A = this chain, B = another copy of it.
Amino acid sequence: MDAHTSILPIGAPSVARGTSRLFLRNQIMVQSEVSLRNGRRADLMGLTTKGEIIIVEIKCSRADLLGDQKWPEYLEYCDRFFWAVPAGFDIGPLHGEAFMPERAGLIIADAYDAEIARPAALVPLATARRKTETQRLARLAMRRLMGIADPDPILAEIEAE
């Protein structure tokens, strides 16, 4: 058994938790599973104190990473983009051109914490789009809080438009 396979596999929820803790300490507020208007879904999406929009795509398997040809579609909806992978993940492919290392940051996470292995470039969205996405993030997060505060089944089907 080599060093990688001796590490217990860490799933996406653990990577999300570790990454969220890193962000929280740095005043970046995020939520999970945010559907984008282009049909993709961001694993984590949120806002810095400056209002920059952050998207994080979590990859826990090499096959999932290498098979994702359409990931640049995320770039249309954020000012900064990060990959997040579990500790022990082979990050070799993420240095390759197909994964735009000059643009995409890299977060290495376990279930308890995370660190930024490579910062993400700031590529500002158009102002109008950032405004729309900020509103969508706000309304989705409040919708989720409303559902937690009042889990009435009749209301449960109402999605934030």
Contacts and interface: CB of A to CB of B under 8 A. Distances in A.
B21 A150 contact: yes
A155 B31 contact: no
A144 B46 CA distance: 13
A46 B142 contact: yes
A140 B150 CA distance: 19
Contacts of A145: 31, 141, 144-145
A25 to B, nearest CB: 7
A62 to B, nearest CB: 27
Secondary structure type dominating chain A contacts: helix
B139 A142 contact: no
A109 to B, nearest CB: 13
A24 B135 contact: no
Please indicate which of the listed interface residues A24, A29, A51, A148 has the most CB atoms of chain B within 10 Å of its own CB: A29
Contacts of A137: 138, 142
